[in-house]
A and B are shown apart, each in its own frame.
Chain A
């Protein structure tokens, strides 16, 4: 039965090959928060990695922030989506590279520095904001205003510097509590042509946005904001990174780390969207380029 033996040998050889290939298949584990955005981003990362032949598992950190059972070891690369997911993970990756996303720069500062993590922060680079204002409002009196809460105040010195480099004026009003927003706007709006909205839970939230957008609209001052939702609410321009743009950067970072190349410990969003609320702009008598044109020009300025 030499033929049968040959068949057996071939089958075993193929099985061995399959095991070898299986062992070489890259693996990733996504640890994410229990939120719609983390879920959406995770699905995008999973779909992208699956197309590239990765094996991906997903773990959800519960809302009460209970530490995960996850062990970081072996060949599996880790992706933490959301600050709570990152905080719930062990700080040592056990030598494995890992990527964090959907975290803000300030949230990252509150989480003890982990080794071999590369975090893609949500905060857009400060110079990107300055470029956007300069390009979008070219030809208008360029004094911009900013309401500063405890959270976004940290970016102020750098923001001031970037604005000054571009001969743009930036003035601020401090807000200590939600109730201060309208009085602060009353003081700020007569002196500015644009209001820059940078995230701060006291200044910009579901409660204050009503007063903020109505008051600025009445004063004829356009708002440049940080999220798509803010744009829908009535901001004239928004600069933000969408879940698909963040997931693309997560995947690129994973691939880069897998190839053994270094990734920066903190990465700014590489891909971004500039949205223009044309109806509100028109109502304010503003003639603005389209969002895609603004994005291209901001990107060109960065290069």
Chain B
């Protein structure tokens, strides 16, 4: 990857020099002074009725009013999405099913850069290096969108868009203090000097999670976003992130087999994103980007091995260390093609590298290379008609090359009423862990020597082998058909969104057991097999989901979402897949500004009966109420805010397993903004 980095730097510097010599116009009268392009293609969002896919946008006001400490809680506002807890810090996400602590079916991006884990898939949600306050909005694409985002934009895409420093307060400090050991601190500052603007955020998230799990968290994070304007049309943007700290894992109840016993983990995450952008207007933008991230995780499990008599128990500390890094080089060009069409094309090169002795059975790095070319086109042949289409070509060394197309037609049937028909294909590339897992527990050298001296062939076998990939995996595939209605009723200040989908999923990757010889297998049958991954099973998801947003008066916002899902699955894991999503979900969120600078936010969420795909109990329906009450107070030249947040205000429901119950958690949020 050094070559990629070097090439990028050369290209970026050349481009910077090329653009920096443009003539300044600072002497012109105001009427002719040069303004930099601000609302360029990547900063503009499409109205929901013009978008080629169903999108839920969670804006900053909603984010703030929700009182969310963790970003995952906000996904309850996405119709069809479920948010549970594996423990106090690890969320279980699902979207029309497939709920899992390692929810791999959503692509996750921060400001257009994928933070989808190359090792496990999905996002490392509890370790995000950004504060809720850094977020401008969340855009959730509900449905596959591989043509724009590539593989792993399978059931959907989450794009976390952070705030431009230009719109930030100069200084902000905040703290959360409350139950469950919540002790968060946050400091943010932003400045804008001439051609340079930047924001710096530093914070710490601390809590003790749930009483029933070892799930303490102490996570420190820092992030910087800086823009340097080279000319009126071009700028350099640098984003740097660090997150690190302690996360506990395991299970207190795991007494019989302490393979999942309580333990501490430490992680470090660093990310660097450098983007050069040339903006020629609202439709014309070109950018070139280099991204590099590195993450390491250190965790040792004090495994208490219970051996058959007469051996008794044996302490066997196991390292669960792993590390990975990603390097991306990407370019994208948005162009206008005449009066009625515009397009985007781009190319992308990525290398992922993962190391873990315990998960891959070797200390050498596992590589994954990805090449992409894509193009999308939006054509408005006549007023009220929009045809959008796109195609993505990808080639990776794990599952070969593929093409993912999509096509959408938006037809405004009456002013304010739009129908959209969409067809899309997507895929999920096997994770490095799925493709190459070799999770074995070697015998301590001493034991192997004793066995060898006794002439026992067991000496050459691993002591135990829990997972070992042996199949060449193919991409999971999804074919999606969608019909949507989007209605706007300006007189009633009401927006409606109805979305009918049929997803057909194939070649689903699942675990299966096969015989495998181990040393412990000589004594106990459960050690005589191991797990592998294979493409087996299919599913059909049919769902009707929708939302209504009513803003009757300024300062009042009511958002309702509903989803009804049915899943028919085939294959060995059909029952688990069918139960991995609830038949019904409901959310109702209200934001209301009261007199005298009082502000109220309240959410009601109901998730029908379901279980997590990777295990756990079949849980009964769960209801949840979150409330935030805040008051702004002028303080000096700034503003202070005091807020009380109560989550699970009516008492918590069951979590991953029926007997684990989430509980009411309250905290005080104090903030000063200048």
Contacts and interface: CB of A to CB of B under 8 A. Distances in A.
A210 B31 contact: no
A229 interface: yes
B398 to A, nearest CB: 38
Given A36-B25, A37-B28, A63-B27, A233 B37 contact: yes
A226 B31 contact: yes
Given A63-B27, A234-B282, A279-B282, A206 B38 contact: no
A283 B38 CA distance: 14
Given A214-B166, A214-B167, A233 B36 contact: yes
20 contacts: A34-B27, A35-B25, A37-B32, A102-B29, A104-B30, A107-B29, A206-B229, A207-B192, A209-B36, A214-B38, A217-B43, A218-B60, A229-B32, A230-B35, A234-B39, A234-B282, A279-B44, A279-B283, A282-B47, A283-B44
A179 B637 CA distance: 13
B47 A277 contact: no
| Interface of chain B, main secondary structure | loop
Interface in A27-72: 33-37, 63
Given A210-B38, A229-B232, A233-B36, A83 B31 contact: no
Contacts of A210: 36, 38, 164, 166, 192, 197
A83 B30 CA distance: 12
A201 B35 CA distance: 12
B614 interface: no
A209 B164 CA distance: 13
A229 B29 contact: no
A205 B28 CA distance: 12
B35 A211 contact: no
B281 interface: yes
A10 B30 CA distance: 58
A35 B28 contact: yes
B39 A282 contact: no
Interface string B167-211: 101100000000000000000000010110100000000000000
Given A63-B27, A226-B30, A282-B47, A232 B37 contact: yes
Interface of B: 23, 25, 27-41, 43-47, 50, 59-60, 136, 164, 166-167, 169-170, 192, 194-195, 197, 229, 232, 281-283, 488, 554-555
A190 B281 CA distance: 27
A200 B33 CA distance: 11
A174 to B, nearest CB: 16
Contacts of B34: 206, 229
A122 interface: yes
Given A122-B29, A122-B31, A283-B46, 17 more contacts: A35-B25, A63-B27, A204-B30, A206-B232, A209-B35, A209-B38, A214-B167, A227-B30, A229-B35, A229-B232, A233-B38, A240-B31, A241-B31, A277-B281, A278-B282, A279-B41, A283-B45
A135 interface: no
Contact of B43 (A214, A284, A285): A214
Interface size class of A (residues with CB under 8 A): 35 or more
A226 B43 CA distance: 22
B168 to A, nearest CB: 8
A37 B33 CA distance: 10
Interface string A161-193: 000000000000000000100100000001000
Name which of B33, B170, B195 has the most chain A CB atoms within 10 A of its CB.
B33
A215 interface: yes
Contact of A213 (B39, B45, B59): B39
B348 to A, nearest CB: 25
Contacts of B32: 35, 37, 227, 229
Nearest to B383: A287
Contact of A234 (B25, B27, B37): B37
A82 interface: yes
B282 A280 contact: yes
A145 interface: no
A218 B57 CA distance: 12
Contacts of B195: 206
Interface of A: 33-37, 63, 82-83, 102-104, 107, 122, 179, 182, 190, 199-201, 204-207, 209-211, 213-215, 217-218, 226-227, 229-230, 232-234, 240-241, 277-280, 282-285
A213 B38 contact: yes
A140 to B, nearest CB: 9
A36 B35 CA distance: 15
A34 B34 CA distance: 16
B31 A104 contact: yes
Contact of A104 (B29, B40, B136, B281): B29
A218 B28 CA distance: 30
Contacts of B50: 282
Contacts of B43: 214, 217
Contacts of A229: 32-35, 232
A63 B28 CA distance: 11
B30 A211 contact: no
Given A206-B33, A233-B36, A35 B27 contact: yes
Nearest to B197: A210
Nearest to B59: A218
Nearest to A33: B27
Contact of A277 (B28, B169, B197, B282): B282
Contact of B36 (A34, A179, A206): A206
Contacts of A215: 167
A50 to B, nearest CB: 24
Given A206-B36, A211-B167, A229-B35, A36 B28 contact: yes
Contacts of A37: 25, 28-29, 32
B235 to A, nearest CB: 10
A36 B23 contact: yes
A199 to B, nearest CB: 4
B47 A283 contact: yes
B559 to A, nearest CB: 16
B61 to A, nearest CB: 10
B42 to A, nearest CB: 12
Contacts of B44: 217, 279-280, 283
A285 B60 contact: no
A199 B35 contact: no
A182 B170 CA distance: 10
Contacts of B23: 36
A227 B29 CA distance: 11
A234 B38 CA distance: 6
A154 to B, nearest CB: 14
Contacts of B29: 37, 82-83, 102-104, 107, 122, 199
Contact of A211 (B31, B166, B229): B166
Given A102-B29, A218-B167, A279-B283, A207 B38 contact: no
Contacts of B33: 205-206, 227, 229
Nearest to B26: A206
A263 B164 CA distance: 49
A258 to B, nearest CB: 27
Contact of B39 (A207, A217, A241, A285): A217
B114 to A, nearest CB: 24
A226 B29 CA distance: 12
Nearest to B281: A232
